[in-house]
Structure 1
Amino acid sequence: MTQAILLVEDDAGLREALQDTLQLADYQVIAADSAEQALLQLKQNKIQLVISDVQMQGASGLTLLKTVREQYPQVPVLMMTAYATVQAAVEAIRIGAVDYLAKPFSPQVLVNTVSRYVSARQHESFEPVVGAQSSKQLLALCARVARTDASVMISGPSGSGKEVLARYIHQLSERCNGPFVAINCAAIPENMLESSLFGYEKGAFTGAINACPGKFEQAQHGTILLDEITEMDLNLQAKLLRVLQEREVERLGGRKAIQLDVRVLATSNRNLQQAVAEGRFREDLYYRLNVFPLVWPALCERADDILPLARHLLQRHCLASGRTIPQLSAAAISRLSHYHWPGNVRELDNVIQRALIISTSDEIDACDIMLEHTEACVPYAQNNARSGGADSHYAEVDSEALSVKLDDGDTDSSFKHSVHEQEHRIILATMKACANRRKDVAERLGISDRTLRYKLARMKQHGIDVPA
């Protein structure tokens, strides 16, 4: 039997949004559009928590709550409604609801409330896929530092797998049964990052209609990962430093200090020492986080990792789609091995997915491997020592020095034509697979909508029939 959260909401759009929010937080969700359908799902599945709207067509949420309390007393029920009144809240709690959410509420408030009663699915244990001796030595070092509570700073270019390394450290630590909470400091707007990290009380600012614990509280007795920490504003860095020093946090709008028991990991794609020297990163915070530094190099610097990763990605995508796992031909292996991978593992993943789209047999050949760049690899440590810019180890250099050395101009022209033909084949195949939905095509190819529009326009200019 399935073990899941039962979501009961008669508004289809809201039901889908709530379901997506919970699934993104690693909860398994079964949706129902009425109290009657919810009771059927309760009979057929093992339900951990019921989340129900109060106002619904047919039987109301309060009627459902009464029935659940009578027939399934061990199942907690969380009520939500747009008609927030004291009387309705008191009635729901009196009948037996464990909590009450007044609409509108933020996705984070929903996830935080649910986490009080249900644990998200735990990620299966794993070990990073490596083949290079240097990578194996790095994993051995991770195993040693994992046994301590020391803060770890993981440096490396974007897409190299820094978060994978952080999860591996958490998995091997004594905190492995606690939560692993990651927050991308570069992805959250500056004015929202503080409340996301530290939480807020009801009424702390406009729109704070419910109290919400921050990421540090959510990571209690576990590990928090501060991803791309160097993108954080200097003022917020000072507040973060205090939290790390005092091991306590105060929510926005609150007066109570909450004691923390959290292990801190951080990542950056910048040269931290250079950022400190330029005044973009606090020196005291640098020393607080950089207790044990680890460097996860660019993929081209650990070439023996490429094939194990490629085979792992092939297996993962084929198992997800129910497809037979194809083999890599000798030519495909050579093509993958001799490429410099400026986008690192993230780019390798895209290339493998494209190859699976193009390939029509049980073997992936070199013609199925579409690569986009011809630049030489600049070692991460070497280039990062010269510049503090994000991913500056891929700084532009003389294009003539990086061009592919071909015998003559005709060969060069033929090569470029072949590459464009291959790209066109991939785009057309992907459009067919996605029923010409442009947004899905762009996501599957790993490019932006704007880039896809540009490529389609260029194809039309070359006389290629592009589906509408």
Structure 2
Amino acid sequence: MTDKATVLIVEDNPQLRDALSDTLDYAGYNVLAAESGDEALSVLATQAVDMVVSDINMDGMDGHELLQRIRGRFPALPVVLITAFGSIGSSVRAMREGAVDYLLKPFKPEQLLATVEKYLTTRVLGGNEPVAIEPSSQQLLSLAGKVARTDATVLISGESGTGKEVLAQFIHQHSNRAKGPFVAINCAAIPENMLEATLFGYEKGAFTGAYNSSPGKFEQADGGTLLLDEISEMDIGLQAKILRVLQEREVERLGSRKTMKLDVRVIATTNRDLRQHVREGNFREDLYYRLSVFPLAWLPLRQRRQDIVPLAERLLEQHAGRMGRSTVRLDEQAKLTLSQYAWPGNVREL
């Protein structure tokens, strides 16, 4: 079992909910409980959860609908469904819809604990995983999950606001580096004359105003992941130094002659066509190939229509949870209006 993993119990029967919660609590898990599917989604929108155990037969949103909603918002989150004895058809349906397993009532506490232990995975960021309902989004997330298990450098492309940093965080959280730091730097937001010092760090006296030594982003990300956001905006001279770090796996602070070996996985993002940038002489070809070991492309929201409403519902759940309010429901007209809009600013605009 992972250290103090969190399991969400979804059960409308208070006696059974308490019994399940007590069993897991005594076994050393953090336990969250919800009496309905709506309440469960509100919890998931605001808190980190490692597994969901839900009854199928509940008033309002049943376990099947809850499973579908979870699959769309948190595709890597394992869900175990509880069903009554004799409801094998419902259990088979649950497995087809994406449940990792099911428990038939009545079951012993040992069965619950064994099932939870079997499928417990790395922690999922509550409310922060990419939404993937659109088939193209599901395919992309599947690829991201596969590359997460490697140490390959990843290049994520897509228009501004499509959620490239969220995808980068997803890769980090599902990698062997998940317990290490995730450090992000926006290459377009830092002045050119400061970007090198920010990335590589500097020693005292390296330049005017350097009154103390300071580690750079590469050092801060040692043992984890460094996100170079909008790398296409980086000066071509600095690109050569980034290439050297990727090749040699070492960094040298400004004002120092000492190199430091680092263990950093690099993910880069761009909202431009980097191949065109290379052809125009604005981006190094060797760096492009070094970065694009595993390229991923997030489509704009207007090409991911099936993701729009689930994204909007997640945002509503998050804000409602922070404000201590019940989940706000979108009516059909609101859903239609959201789905038909082009969203030029993508998820950021939504």
Corresponding letter in the other structure for 1:301: Q
Q: For residues 169 and 189 of structure 1, what CA distance do their matches in structure 2 show?
A: 28
- Report the alpha carbon displacement of residue 245 of structure 1 after superposing the two structures with TM: 0.8
Q: For residues 176 and 256 of structure 1, what CA distance do their matches in structure 2 show?
A: 29
Query: Counterpart in 1 of 2:252?
Result: 250
- Report the alpha carbon displacement of residue 154 of structure 1 after superposing the two structures with TM: 0.2
Query: Counterpart in 2 of 1:239?
Result: 241
Query: Counterpart in 1 of 2:172?
Result: 170
Q: How many pairs were matched up?
A: 227
2:301–2:307 Cα contact (<8 Å) kept? yes
Query: Counterpart in 2 of 1:193?
Result: 195
Q: For residues 206 and 261 of structure 1, what CA distance do their matches in structure 2 show?
A: 30
2:129–2:167 Cα contact (<8 Å) kept? no
Instruction: Describe how 1:355-434 pairs up with structure 2 within 5 A.
Output: none
Match of residue 323, structure 1, among 301, 322, 325 = 325
Query: Counterpart in 1 of 2:339?
Result: 337
- Report the alpha carbon displacement of residue 271 of structure 1 after superposing the two structures with TM: 0.4
Corresponding letter in the other structure for 1:223: T
Match of residue 283, structure 1, among 282, 285, 289 = 285
Q: For residues 250 and 276 of structure 1, what CA distance do their matches in structure 2 show?
A: 27
Instruction: Describe how 1:113-262 pairs up with structure 2 within 5 A.
Output: 124=125, 126-262=128-264
Query: Counterpart in 1 of 2:274?
Result: 272
SS at match of 1:294: strand
Q: For residues 144 and 234 of structure 1, what CA distance do their matches in structure 2 show?
A: 31
1:282/1:209 CA distance change after superposition, 3 Å: same
1:198–1:252 Cα contact (<8 Å) kept? yes
Post-superposition CA distance 1:195-251 (Å, at most 9, x none): 000000011111111100000000001000000000000111111111111110000
Q: For residues 273 and 238 of structure 1, what CA distance do their matches in structure 2 show?
A: 17
1:151–1:263 Cα contact (<8 Å) kept? yes
1:250–1:256 Cα contact (<8 Å) kept? yes
SS at match of 1:287: helix
Matched, 1:295 2:297: yes
2:132–2:141 Cα contact (<8 Å) kept? no
1:306–1:337 Cα contact (<8 Å) kept? yes
Q: For residues 341 and 152 of structure 1, what CA distance do their matches in structure 2 show?
A: 26
- Report the alpha carbon displacement of residue 323 of structure 1 after superposing the two structures with TM: 2.8
Q: For residues 177 and 138 of structure 2, what CA distance do their matches in structure 1 show?
A: 23
SS at match of 2:314: helix
Q: For residues 282 and 155 of structure 2, what CA distance do their matches in structure 1 show?
A: 17
SS at match of 1:328: coil
- Report the alpha carbon displacement of residue 254 of structure 1 after superposing the two structures with TM: 0.6
- Report the alpha carbon displacement of residue 130 of structure 1 after superposing the two structures with TM: 2.1
Q: For residues 326 and 214 of structure 1, what CA distance do their matches in structure 2 show?
A: 43
Corresponding letter in the other structure for 1:317: H
- Report the alpha carbon displacement of residue 324 of structure 1 after superposing the two structures with TM: 3.1
TM-score normalised over the length of structure 2? 0.63
Instruction: Describe how 1:8-47 pairs up with structure 2 within 5 A.
Output: none
SS at match of 1:169: helix
Query: Counterpart in 2 of 1:409?
Result: none
Larger radius of gyration: 1
- Report the alpha carbon displacement of residue 327 of structure 1 after superposing the two structures with TM: 1.3
After superposing on structure 2, the runs of 4+ consecutive aligned residues of structure 1 that deviate more than 4 Å are: none
- Report the alpha carbon displacement of residue 133 of structure 1 after superposing the two structures with TM: 1.4
Corresponding letter in the other structure for 1:268: T
Instruction: Describe how 1:88-107 pairs up with structure 2 within 5 A.
Output: none
Corresponding letter in the other structure for 1:206: T
Post-superposition CA distance 1:75-121 (Å, at most 9, x none): xxxxxxxxxxxxxxxxxxxxxxxxxxxxxxxxxxxxxxxxxxxxxxx
Q: For residues 329 and 148 of structure 2, what CA distance do their matches in structure 1 show?
A: 36
- Report the alpha carbon displacement of residue 322 of structure 1 after superposing the two structures with TM: 2.2
Could you say which structure has the greater relative contact order, defined with CA pairs below 8 angstroms and 6 or more residues apart? 2
- Report the alpha carbon displacement of residue 329 of structure 1 after superposing the two structures with TM: 1.3
Q: For residues 263 and 256 of structure 1, what CA distance do their matches in structure 2 show?
A: 21
Corresponding letter in the other structure for 1:257: T
Corresponding letter in the other structure for 1:236: L
- Report the alpha carbon displacement of residue 123 of structure 1 after superposing the two structures with TM: 8.6
What are the ranges of 5 or more consecutive residues in structure 2 without an aligned counterpart? 1-122
1:130–1:309 Cα contact (<8 Å) kept? no
1:334/1:124 CA distance change after superposition, 3 Å: closer
1:181–1:215 Cα contact (<8 Å) kept? yes
Structure with the higher helix share, 1 or 2: 1
- What value does the CA root-mean-square deviation take over the aligned residues? 1.3
1:146–1:172 Cα contact (<8 Å) kept? yes
Q: For residues 307 and 195 of structure 2, what CA distance do their matches in structure 1 show?
A: 35
1:132–1:303 Cα contact (<8 Å) kept? yes
1:152–1:290 Cα contact (<8 Å) kept? yes
- Report the alpha carbon displacement of residue 321 of structure 1 after superposing the two structures with TM: 1.9
Q: For residues 185 and 232 of structure 1, what CA distance do their matches in structure 2 show?
A: 6
What are the ranges of 5 or more consecutive residues in structure 1 without an aligned counterpart? 1-121, 349-468
Corresponding letter in the other structure for 2:182: F
SS at match of 1:265: strand
Post-superposition CA distance 1:157-184 (Å, at most 9, x none): 0000000000000011101110000000
Q: For residues 265 and 326 of structure 1, what CA distance do their matches in structure 2 show?
A: 36
Corresponding letter in the other structure for 2:297: V
1:200–1:251 Cα contact (<8 Å) kept? yes
